[in-house]
Amino acid sequence: MKQHKIISVIENSIAWEMKVQPGDILISINGQEIYDIMDYRFYMNDESILVEILKPDGEIWELEIEKEFCEEIGLVFDPVAVGEERHCANNCIFCFVDQQPPGLRETLYVKDDDPYQSFSQGNYITLTNLERGDIDQILKYKLSPMRISVHAGDMNLRRMMMGSIRAGYLFKILERFCEAGIDMHFQVVLCKGINDGAQLDKTIERLLTLGNRAKSLAIVPVGLTKYREGLFPLEGFDANTAKEVIARVKSWQEKLCKNASRFVFLADEWYVLADEPLPTYDEYEDFPQLDNGVGMMVLFQTQFLKVLFENQKAKGDSFNIGIVTGVAAGKFVQNLASRFMNIFPCFAIRVHVIQNDFYGLGVTVSGLLTGIDIISQLHEKCHDLDVLFIPGNAFRTNSDEMLCGTNIDDISANLGVAVIKGSNDGGEFCRQMINITKR
């Protein structure tokens, strides 16, 4: 039976608390032999697992672990022995990682492209770095659903956009996934004058040939920072070209929803850029592409207003609240703030729209805001506030740190105001504001 030596244990993790030590050996999970990293992550995925550990003195420990689905237990192995997670082997013309400024934490320069991460965490992968054995493992474990970056249905265009000859084998792999009963969600990063227009039609048509295993497609506008020197020349979309994209996708949606799902959905940024109304809640169906920013604003608003109307008879003390947001969501957040103050007139809410000087003014989403910009643009503007909310999606997962390395304490100290990480759930965010006087 293959065994894997543990080289370190993450501090305060489940394994750490159960006294697992570096030098211990992993024998099995739920009685299953672990061959490589995909085996490990697949069997470790369950909420209830039995882990067999061989200690250096020959004693075997059986650890019964109850945890959250997909929660890590904290074991670190020799990457040569167990196999490293897959990283991107492409040279995409639109890659956001290539547009990062220098001096950030190392993980922001890592290009993830791992099939297990697609299954367990919803990351999008390109499939260009997989060998036959990797694909066989996906089929063996039936990792479903998978989330796949397509970008173009024309394989010559896909090769050009991704800088990889292997990008042209996409549909051969997708057809095998279909045969194995694996559901798939797709994304297209739309680049003006390259894969839009008739090429976008061709992409949608090609994906629809996969049948009912093709569940949804998100169309996301290319993100361009100011750090593009030496990179492929790309131009961002404006209001007029965004309207053209919306009209084209709406035509597809109207045709497809007569028989089944709309299938293709647009990121919220398109409607903000075109200054057009967002679709209704029902038009997003079961919100299959939330991680791509598709329907996030409509869902957030629905959650927010539900809680607001449920609590409209509640009383609150006078309070001054500041809410930070990006340029794209400025009008949206202001509208919610106004509706909140209509119910709770004792609250004074000021929305602070932060321009993204860090990445460049073309980056307008709240999730890429930095503490550096918040501090510089709100300096001496928060002295009358009782609290300042910053959107939760601007922070690292399970952390108070932002992209630029600043954290909540840094911002609070520099601005002289209490800072709260706002919930990404609209209902919970509304409760945070209602309950602010209880702090």
- Least confident range of 1-15, 144-158, 246-260, 329-343: 1-15
Does position 95 have pLDDT exceeding 90, yes or no?
Answer: yes
Q: Hey, is 274 helix, strand or coil?
A: helix
pLDDT tens digits along 38-52: 777 778 878 899 999
Question: Nearest 5 degrees, angle CA 424-CA 354-CA 438?
Answer: 50
Domains in the chain, please, with CATH?
4-82 (2.30.42.10), 97-294 (3.80.30), 300-438 (3.40.50.2300)
pLDDT of residue 397: 78
Q: Is the pLDDT of residue 357 over 60?
A: yes
pTM value is: 0.82
Which is higher by pLDDT, 336 or 31? 336
Neighbouring C-beta atoms of residue 287, cutoff 10 Å: 15
Q: Is the pLDDT of residue 118 over 70?
A: no
Across 115-124, 318-327, 335-344, 403-412, least confident range: 115-124
Residue 314 confidence (pLDDT): 66
CA-CA distance, 311 to 133, in Å (whole number)? Answer: 56
Read off the tokens for 141.
């474990």
- When pLDDT is averaged across residues 355-384 and rounded to a whole number, the result is 94
In this structure, the number of other CB atoms found within 10 A of the CB of residue 229 comes to: 6
Closest-CA residue to 349 (of 316, 380, 385): 385
Stated length of the chain: 439
